Structure 1
Amino acid sequence: MNSDAQQTRGLNGSDAHAWRGRFPYNEIISLLDVNRPFNLAESTSQDLTVGELMDLAGLERIRDLKLGYGTSAGGIALRTAIADACKVPAEQIVTTQGTALGLFLLAFEVCRAGDEAVLATPCFPPSRDSLLGVGVEVREVTLSFENGYRLDLEQIEAKLSPKTRLVSIASPQNPSGVQTSRAEIEKLLVLMEKRSPQAILFVDETYREASYGDKAVIESFAGLDPRIVTGGSVSKALGAPGLRTGWLTVADDDLRARLVVAKMNTVISGSVLDEALATVLLRNKEDVLAPRRRLLAAALDELATWCESERARVEWVRPDAGALCCVRLRSDAFDDAAVSRFWDLLPQHDLQLASGAWFGESSRVFRLGFGYLPLERLAPALSAISVVMNAATSYRS
């Protein structure tokens, strides 16, 4: 079965019985191999080029960089730049190869056999699969499309127990772009103190700085409470996933030391070249983010217009931040067979979307990335979705 035919495979895949990996198979891996002309599956802003990066101030002496080992905690220059953005001391930062490595290290080090983790879904697949891969019992809290994917504190409270060691959420969420408020985080911490006093709260903030136009960027939750660990990277808002540079903010000295040792035993250190480039990018981030935020605002307006024009066939949850959102094929316009045809027809129209099934949602939902394509290509891509919907619903056996 090729990747085009697997669009609707779930988090574990429809043929999970044949899969023998420690980590569940997820078809989101196809995004690394397929890039169609109308790629609305990616959740990043437009890719930054090496030329754009080299034009930033601070790289004048890059030729003198020695390509030896870095430190397991991460270079101090990079950790200082991250700390400035998160408003915490630099010593609380541990750099990782993207947020993805941070997810794994946290799951591997925080949880042991018999422990539980509470996870808000739908979610970025490695958020769930890293936990499953290390053998943790995952208690999922399913957030609903109908409720705008808002955090359900009652559901979370019901899943918490003395065995809970990790509570994992994202803000803004992937795939919906919905943010969690400070008040909700504070209420969640109170629940954790009462029901799961040994648990830490992980907040994935990968999309935090991908705001729209002049909209204020929500502050990091990193310094709010010592039980909070946050994750971030230069991948999404800054458009540099190829640098593979992310981080965790960890206030607890013991946990931070354990994570550094875990990193040393898995990847030793990050690439000193990647870290040097990421440092310069973070120091110049507002020059990079400002035009991208304007583009995201314009793209979101374009998407909102399309969703309104197609309101008889689709519904959506408007995102708070990030270059992504969730769109759903309406049940009164698409039966199950039409949904299946919709996914089958996408490649014929050079279209790429991220199935909701990858994130723990229904395949009737798809993640639509509106920041990756140049703005002039977004409208034709959305029009192509309309054409596919026409074909999917006009089929006659």
Structure 2
Amino acid sequence: MQGKSMKGFQQNFDERQRPGLSESTPPAWRGRFPRNEIISLLNVNRPFNLAESTSQDLTVGELLNLAGSEPIRNLKLGYGTSAGSLALREAIAEGCNVPAEQIITTQGTALGLFLLAFEVCRSGDEAILATPCFPPSRDSLLGAGVTVREIKLSFENGYRLDLDQIDASLSAKTKLVSIASPQNPGGIQTSRADIEKLLAMMEKRSPDAMLFIDETYREATYGDNAVVESFAGLDSRIVTGASVSKALGAPGLRTGWLTVADADLRERLAIAKMNTVISGSVLDETLATVLLRNREGVLASRRRLLAGALRELALWCESEHERVEWLRPDAGALCCVRLRSDAFDETAVSRFWGLLPDHDLQLASGTWFGESNRVFRLGFGYLPPERFGPALSALSRAMSAATA
């Protein structure tokens, strides 16, 4: 939709999001997957979009400049292979330091986690999930029929992994433990030492369990900061997931992957993939291969932009320290900000969310991720630099209006 039609759609959508303005009480939700308002990010894109966690979107032209048009023009649009194209898997393997045969491509990381949960867990089995988290990380487990035991991490503790909580929740029923590093929404990384401790706990209490680590934001570092090595090759019980969506700015390619050391599980996942999506798009996988083969050049400019935006955000948070507190991220184009309780009562918090459309603002509510509505995910990589500062100024105005 373009022009007036898109504007009208957005205005109607915004009205439906304001408290108390829905036309009628919606019927009880009957879907197998829980409804989460993060779906709004697919339908609305306000001028000051601080909700997105990607870096700036790549264009097809930029990718074709890297690839040349002839390989694309001559590409045959037949079915892809069950594991994904060999060229793509080799490019992924280079970044993960594992053999290409251990890679299986998926339509985004979310599909990979769903297939993993659907195949690893059976009726009566349990999965442990660290939250707050990307909503499909929880909802794909529930959609697959898995009993989920959430480990709620705290803002006060910097969303650091709580190993004692996980240890107390592990049992013989646990077949999957799911975490993210860096986390979404906070951008907080888990150390190798903590992963090794977690694996030791699992060996003792849940010997049949797999550990899934979402590494989608791993390469979205700042400036010259080093990229943390993937956990893919650390242990055969680890399955990692990632995609070209976030750090590389190509979510429209819908190309993600799992690293799976266990050959039996890898074959089962390939069959599960065949029975859901058959194969990946050969066009998407070809373009994703080009992107990954040129990853360092593409990432370098984005890391510089992220570093600049993070500095600007840090200055804004310092200037607003009486009204907000934040957790500085380790990686990723995202962080968590919290409205201070001594500056915003519950009424002011509700008013704040209702006022965002009036200021052309978009934020990702903490409630989407398993947090309170005092917390929001702020994306600092999606807007171009010339619009990021004005967006933060609009956010300050919205906070002032909420407490006026």
TM-score by length of 2: 0.94
Which secondary structure does the structure 1 equivalent of 2:377 belong to? strand
Q: Is residue 401 of structure 2 the alignment partner of residue 391 of structure 1?
A: yes
Indicate if the aligned counterparts of 1:316 and 1:327 stay in contact, CA closer than 8 A: yes
Q: Is residue 58 of structure 2 the alignment partner of residue 48 of structure 1?
A: yes
Which secondary structure does the structure 2 equivalent of 1:18 belong to? coil
For 1:256 and 1:8, locate their aligned partners in 2 and report how far apart those are by CA, in whole Å.
46
Instruction: Give the superposition deviation at 1:374.
Output: 0.3
Q: Is residue 203 of structure 2 the alignment partner of residue 190 of structure 1?
A: no
Q: Is residue 255 of structure 2 the alignment partner of residue 245 of structure 1?
A: yes
Instruction: Give the superposition deviation at 1:61.
Output: 1.9
Number of positions where the alignment pairs a residue of Structure 1 with one of Structure 2 = 389
Using a 3 Å threshold, how does the CA distance of structure 1 residues 181 and 32 change in structure 2: closer, same or farther?
A: same
Residue of 192, 208, 213 corresponding to 1:203 = 213
Indicate if the aligned counterparts of 1:6 and 1:27 stay in contact, CA closer than 8 A: no
Deviations 1:121-143 (A, max 9, x none): 00000000011112111000001
Partner of 2:264: 254
Residue of 48, 51, 72 corresponding to 2:82 = 72
Q: Which amino acid aligns with 2:137?
A: S
Q: Is residue 370 of structure 2 the alignment partner of residue 360 of structure 1?
A: yes
For 1:70 and 1:298, locate their aligned partners in 2 and report how far apart those are by CA, in whole Å.
40
Q: Which amino acid aligns with 1:62?
A: I
Instruction: Give the superposition deviation at 1:59.
Output: 5.3
Q: Is residue 34 of structure 2 the alignment partner of residue 24 of structure 1?
A: yes
Q: Which amino acid aligns with 1:216?
A: A
Q: Which amino acid aligns with 1:373?
A: L
For 1:83 and 1:21, locate their aligned partners in 2 and report how far apart those are by CA, in whole Å.
36
For 2:392 and 2:15, locate their aligned partners in 1 and report how far apart those are by CA, in whole Å.
19
Residue of 315, 324, 328 corresponding to 1:305 = 315
Map residues 84-163 of structure 1 onto 2, 5 A cutoff: 84-163=94-173
Residue of 319, 324, 327 corresponding to 1:317 = 327
For 2:264 and 2:68, locate their aligned partners in 1 and report how far apart those are by CA, in whole Å.
34
User: 4+ residue stretches of structure 1 with deviation over 3 A?
Assistant: 1-9, 57-60
Using a 3 Å threshold, how does the CA distance of structure 1 residues 16 and 147 change in structure 2: closer, same or farther?
A: farther
Q: Which amino acid aligns with 1:172?
A: P
Which secondary structure does the structure 2 equivalent of 1:55 belong to? helix
Q: Which amino acid aligns with 2:390?
A: P
Partner of 1:12: none
Structure 1 segments unaligned to the other structure (5+ residues): 10-14
Instruction: Give the superposition deviation at 1:283.
Output: 0.2
For 2:18 and 2:127, locate their aligned partners in 1 and report how far apart those are by CA, in whole Å.
28
Using a 3 Å threshold, how does the CA distance of structure 1 residues 132 and 369 change in structure 2: closer, same or farther?
A: same
Indicate if the aligned counterparts of 1:3 and 1:27 stay in contact, CA closer than 8 A: no
Instruction: Give the superposition deviation at 1:6.
Output: 3.7
Using a 3 Å threshold, how does the CA distance of structure 1 residues 376 and 215 change in structure 2: closer, same or farther?
A: same
Structure 2 segments unaligned to the other structure (5+ residues): 1-11
Deviations 1:275-309 (A, max 9, x none): 00000100001010000000000000000000000
Deviations 1:187-210 (A, max 9, x none): 000010011000000000000000
For 1:299 and 1:7, locate their aligned partners in 2 and report how far apart those are by CA, in whole Å.
30
Q: Which amino acid aligns with 2:76?
A: K
Instruction: Give the superposition deviation at 1:369.
Output: 0.2
Using a 3 Å threshold, how does the CA distance of structure 1 residues 8 and 74 change in structure 2: closer, same or farther?
A: farther
Partner of 1:227: 237
Q: Which amino acid aligns with 2:304?
A: R
Using a 3 Å threshold, how does the CA distance of structure 1 residues 82 and 258 change in structure 2: closer, same or farther?
A: same
Identity of aligned residues (%): 80
For 1:239 and 1:294, locate their aligned partners in 2 and report how far apart those are by CA, in whole Å.
14
Indicate if the aligned counterparts of 1:123 and 1:175 stay in contact, CA closer than 8 A: yes
Q: Which amino acid aligns with 1:225?
A: D
For 2:81 and 2:252, locate their aligned partners in 1 and report how far apart those are by CA, in whole Å.
20
For 2:137 and 2:308, locate their aligned partners in 1 and report how far apart those are by CA, in whole Å.
30
Q: Which amino acid aligns with 1:389?
A: M
Using a 3 Å threshold, how does the CA distance of structure 1 residues 91 and 203 change in structure 2: closer, same or farther?
A: same
TM-score by length of 1: 0.96
Instruction: Give the superposition deviation at 1:19.
Output: 0.2
Indicate if the aligned counterparts of 2:19 and 2:354 stay in contact, CA closer than 8 A: no
Instruction: Give the superposition deviation at 1:100.
Output: 1.2
Partner of 1:270: 280
